[in-house]
Amino acid sequence: MKYLSVALLSVMIYSCSTPNKSNEQSAPVEDNTAIAEKPMVDSAYVFFKHPADGATVPSPVYIEMGVSGMQIEPAGAVKEGFGHHHVLINQSSWPEGTVIPMSDSTIHYGKGQTDTTLELEPGEYTISLQFADGVHSSYGEKMAASITVTVE
């Protein structure tokens, strides 16, 4: 009886560990992780979290920037679906593919920042967000948003 139990146990272990050699092939498993991680470039947009359009604000002006459908990454490599913010003062957007210069009225946030403060004199301003790729090349009007604020 002892030998029969060992033999049955050996057969069970062997049959469970032996690969299936039938002619049937299993369906390939689809990997959707790349799809889930890939940004939705076609429906992407930028927006202001703060301040609201039409707001009256003190200086320094606190600005919180948002983006949907793309991912923020510091300047450097150009990767589809990635980029960083630029703030434009009294401008609406930069043409797609144009490198945004650095100046007092075009401010780069190439470290991937999503908020800032701006020292502005009293008056009315158009403040725009412009999203651009790793080398500051503008994604154009489709990735820009503007608000008007009055600085006290």
pLDDT tens, position by position, 51-84: 999 999 999 999 999 999 999 999 999 999 999 9
The pLDDT, as a whole number, for residue 42 is 77
Q: Which domains does the chain have, with CATH numbers?
A: 39-151 (2.60.40.10)
User: Which two structure tokens, joined as six digits, stand for 127?
Assistant: 């403040």
Q: Which residues pair with 48 in a beta bridge?
A: 65
Give the CA distances from residue 87 to residues 26, 27, 39, 52, 130, in Å, rounded to whole numbers and listed in that order: 53, 50, 22, 15, 6
Top pLDDT among 95 and 41 is at 95
- Cross-strand pairs, 146: 128
More confident residue, 39 or 117: 117
Q: For the CA atoms of 54, 96, 83, 48, what is the dihedral angle to 10 degrees? A: 10
Tens-digit pLDDT profile for residues 81-126: 999 999 999 999 999 999 999 999 999 999 999 999 999 999 999 9
- Rounded Cα distance between 25 and 35, Å, is 25
